[in-house]
Amino acid sequence: MAGLYFEDFKVGQEFKHPFTRTVTEMDNTMFSLLTMNPQPLHIDAHFSASTEFGQRLFNSLYTLGIMIGMTVYETTMGTTVANLGMTDVNFPKPVFHGDTLRATTRVLSVRDSKSRPQAGIVEFEHHALNQKNEIVATCRRMALMHRKPA
């Protein structure tokens, strides 16, 4: 199991996740249409060419999903009970077809669970960066994590 248990996390701990992902036009169109999002900024090249961006924007919810997904292997793979929520989700720069994303994580807090003695809560801060080293997405995520087996 690759993920860490509750006891393995320390406040201030940082991860530079090794997986990267180049996002494509197909990714964007398929995700947008599968999630019932017909926003022309995502799926209409002609419309998007006339915007301030001059091209289609990659769907921000897919960017969020990729960012979280990139963090799983080193943090929560097989050791999480559940995600409890995400807050402070921001997209400071746009993502375009052909951008390559990578992710970093910092542990903001760790605390015992009041309702589940066999688990604890870890608060993560995730960042997604593009190939220019620009931050394109951030969020805070609370995860209920298993404690180490006895």
Domain ranges of the chain: 6-24+59-146
Q: Is residue 104 within a helix (H) or strand (E), and if so which, with residue range?
A: strand 100-112
What distance in Å separates the CA atoms of residue 141 and residue 14, rounded to the nearest whole number? Answer: 14
What distance in Å separates the CA atoms of residue 56 and residue 51, rounded to the nearest whole number? Answer: 9
For domain 6-24+59-146, give the fold: Thiol Ester Dehydrase; Chain A (3.10.129)
Q: Determine what percent of the chain is predicted with pLDDT higher than 90.
A: 97
Please write down the long-range contacts of 109-117, taking CB distance under 8 Å and 24 or more positions apart: 109/11, 110/6, 110/9, 110/10, 110/11, 113/144, 116/81, 116/144
Contact indicator for 119, 98 with CB cutoff of 8 Å = no
Residue 6: exposure state from Cβ atoms within 10 A (0-12, 13-18, ≥19) = buried
34: how many CB neighbours lie within 10 A of its CB? 9
Instruction: Lowest mean pLDDT of 1-5, 18-22, 76-80, 115-119, name the range.
Output: 1-5
- Model confidence over 37-95: pLDDT tens digits? 999 999 999 999 999 999 999 999 999 999 999 999 999 999 999 999 999 999 999 99
What pTM, to 2 d.p., does this model score? 0.93
Tell whether the model's pLDDT for residue 1 goes beyond 70.
Answer: no
